[in-house]
Chain A
Amino acid sequence: MNNRKWVESTILGIIILNVFVMVFVFLIPRVQFMAKHWGWKAEALMESSGAMDTPNQYSETYQMANQVRNITTESSTVFMPADKWGFGLNIAVVIQRLYPRKVYFFEDSEVDKVFSDASKISNSYIVVNEHRGQDLCAKQRVKYLEAKRVGLCRARK
């Protein structure tokens, strides 16, 4: 094989191999995912498992955060535990979905002061899980959300 053939064939081979990998690793799995989830709203897609090459690690956090978002208003203040959820709660996802609501986690250093002020306002909510938060609820019952083991209540005044 002369120089011309060899160099050109190598470059073409590189392109073909690249296309092959791209089609089988990215394009086909993504097209399959899109076909299966076509017409879904962005909120529902956030709660899905994600495409094969970018699996969604935070689907459970999105389920919980989306439901809290639908119940509360943009001016609400939301308190919630950052741990003992039974799944890896991602703080960034909670803030992303609830912004511009003010979100405080029980583990935050300034939470007690904020809570004593905010709980006097009717627009404050507590997100509770199986282990934490119920003692901070007002007398009314905790409303359990569709997301597993998650409830929401008004803050105790």
Chain B
Amino acid sequence: MLLIDFGLVWFAAYRWVGILKIIPLKWERLALAFLFALAVKSVILFFLVRLGVQPTASIQLGLSALVLGLALFFFPKPSGEEVIIPDQKTGLAWVTWFVVGVLFVFSIINAWFFPITESDAVWYHIRGMSFLHEVRFDSDWVVPQLKQYPPFIPLLFAYLIAFDAGFLKIFFPLMYLFLNIIFYSRVLSLAGNKKMACLFTMVLATTPYFWWHGALPFLDLTTAVFYSIGTLYWYFWVKNKVEGAIEKSEENSYAAISGVLLGLAAWTRIEFLLYDLVPVFLTLYVFSRYPEKNENFKSLKLFFSCLLLLPSLWFLTLLTFDMTLWSQMKMVGGVCVFLWILALSLTLAKWKISESDIKRAFILAVTGYILVLFLSGAGPVPVWKKFTISFYRTSVVHIFYLSTAFLGIFVFFEKLKSLSEQKKILGCFLILFLCTHLAIFSYATPKWPTFSEFVYATFIQPGNSVNLSDTRGMMSFYPIFIFFISSLPFVRRGVINE
């Protein structure tokens, strides 16, 4: 029953992905459709719970059939064109997919064998059960802070429990697998070379931290998959726009896909709405440099609405809770409101933005953040100390990504000034991501009050900090970072005999 239900939604999502006509590789379409199928399932369950209807298996099956029916009716059959990559005889492709396959199988076995006993995951499990049985989001059995977390993973648990599936962690290894498939396809699309795609996919797949989280029922791998893949599609949108080699329909497709995926990241971990400010800012920058000729801003409208829809749904739901909202949640909610105002001003009120406006806005945002940081700094740890700890953590957290972080040395061999504009934008993205990470964790209260405790927890007792929120959050950075390294001309020349 579960397989039939998910199959219906997956096929509907596959149909939608097919009509976008920007994803020529079948495996990539299947992988992306899987992510969208999860999103559709979560939205169906969300509305059922919101309307007070218990999401039983039979009701879900009926709705999944309806979704498929609508997809078949509204989306024409995709042409099924497959891009032919020039025949590059490389046994490396077999080695790559053998390595990914073996790691995926190990991940599945681990996820199946070990029950959910990890501390936060236990709460997600409780929330899943309460969504299904109590048909409400604010169960009395859940602690207030966890109650306010976005519902994506608990909704997936509720989905599996409704179908009596005992294997609740199944989606995490699949996330790991589909991340690798989409990453491979994107590198292949950019580089046009299988050897490049294989080598860098193996780097990502063998990064121990990613494999580890493929068997752990936390929010972070899922967030990393949505955020990093969303960013890769966003990059193709920006790249094609800068190169001027994009049709309107393609531009809209990229904008919609990246918007949905970046929104899903916030639907999983709400603070990713703050990380979403990075692609939003850079999109505005690109639009200010390359203004649309007919100024209908359709791609911008799609990007913003897809990005903001799901997190806004959750904020509206939070307003119905009979409880005091967590201050951090209020702050992120404020950012959501700000983004709606910005989006509406740009698209409906047709605000014109220039490059100098963007620079001024950036300076204003940094100043505003510093003011907020000092005004809210009345906690037990002084602001300067929080900033120092956050700076230290943002710098050293990469040791948990082991040798993958070592890829960064290639940047020092590249002539950065002569990089194309789109690659510079991707480089800026990575720098801004790290700055946002630093800013978020400078605002949050650190786990330990002293700097020395963090040093101890990094080098002497790394087990204490390997799974801190900031270490896990950095998972969203690495696929983009590896992709950026693969795009460097110096690296390309080194891998391909050009």
CA distance A129 to B207 in the complex (A): 45
On whether the beta carbons of A96 and B126 are closer than 8 Å, the reply is yes
On whether the beta carbons of B404 and A99 are closer than 8 Å, the reply is no
* Beta-carbon contacts under 8 Å, B91-149 to A: 99, 103, 106, 109-110, 113-119, 122-123, 125-126, 129-130, 133, 141, 143
* Beta-carbon contacts under 8 Å, A1-17 to B: 3-4, 6-8, 10-15, 17
On whether the beta carbons of B114 and A45 are closer than 8 Å, the reply is yes
On whether the beta carbons of B126 and A95 are closer than 8 Å, the reply is yes
Number of interface residues of B (CB under 8 A): 45
Q: What are the residues of chain A within 8 A of B202 when measuring CB–CB? A: 15
Residue A30 at the B interface, CB < 8 A?
A: yes
On whether the beta carbons of B211 and A7 are closer than 8 Å, the reply is no
Q: Report the minimum CB–CB distance from A56 to chain B (whole Å).
A: 5
Residue B248 at the A interface, CB < 8 A?
A: no
Which of B42-50, B173-181, B280-288, B488-496 interfaces with chain A? B488-496
On whether the beta carbons of B122 and A14 are closer than 8 Å, the reply is no
On whether the beta carbons of B406 and A96 are closer than 8 Å, the reply is no
Q: What are the residues of chain B within 8 A of A50 when measuring CB–CB? A: 114, 117
Residue A144 at the B interface, CB < 8 A?
A: no
Known contacts A42-B115, A56-B117; is-contact A3 B493 (Cβ 8 Å): yes
CA distance A11 to B125 in the complex (A): 39
Q: Report the minimum CB–CB distance from A39 to chain B (whole Å).
A: 11
On whether the beta carbons of B495 and A21 are closer than 8 Å, the reply is no
Residue A82 at the B interface, CB < 8 A?
A: no
On whether the beta carbons of A100 and B117 are closer than 8 Å, the reply is no
CA distance A155 to B406 in the complex (A): 62
On whether the beta carbons of A8 and B494 are closer than 8 Å, the reply is yes
Q: Report the minimum CB–CB distance from B132 to chain A (whole Å).
A: 10
Instruction: Write the chain B residue with the least CB distance to A13.
Output: B403
Residue A46 at the B interface, CB < 8 A?
A: yes
CA distance A58 to B118 in the complex (A): 9
On whether the beta carbons of A92 and B115 are closer than 8 Å, the reply is no
Instruction: Please encode chain A, from 87 to 111, with 1 for each CB lying within 8 Å of some chain B CB and 0 for all others.
Output: 0001111011001100100000000
Known contacts A14-B407, A22-B211; is-contact A7 B115 (Cβ 8 Å): no
On whether the beta carbons of A18 and B402 are closer than 8 Å, the reply is yes
Residue B208 at the A interface, CB < 8 A?
A: yes
On whether the beta carbons of A99 and B141 are closer than 8 Å, the reply is yes
Instruction: Write the chain B residue with the least CB distance to A56.
Output: B117
On whether the beta carbons of A7 and B122 are closer than 8 Å, the reply is no
CA distance A45 to B117 in the complex (A): 9
On whether the beta carbons of B497 and A4 are closer than 8 Å, the reply is yes
Q: What are the residues of chain B within 8 A of A56 when measuring CB–CB? A: 117
CA distance A10 to B212 in the complex (A): 23
Q: What are the residues of chain B within 8 A of A13 when measuring CB–CB? A: 403
Residue A54 at the B interface, CB < 8 A?
A: yes
Q: What are the residues of chain A within 8 A of B402 when measuring CB–CB? A: 17-18, 21
CA distance A144 to B67 in the complex (A): 53
Q: What are the residues of chain A within 8 A of B495 when measuring CB–CB? A: 4, 7-8, 11
On whether the beta carbons of A22 and B114 are closer than 8 Å, the reply is no
Interface residues, chain A, with chain B CB atoms under 8 Å away: 3-4, 6-8, 10-15, 17-19, 21-22, 25-27, 30, 34, 42, 45-46, 50-51, 53-54, 56-58, 62, 90-93, 95-96, 99-100, 103
Q: Given A13-B403, A42-B166, 19 more contacts at CB 8 Å?
A: A3-B494, A6-B494, A7-B410, A7-B490, A7-B493, A7-B494, A8-B494, A14-B203, A14-B404, A14-B407, A18-B206, A19-B99, A19-B206, A26-B212, A30-B110, A58-B117, A93-B117, A95-B141, A103-B141
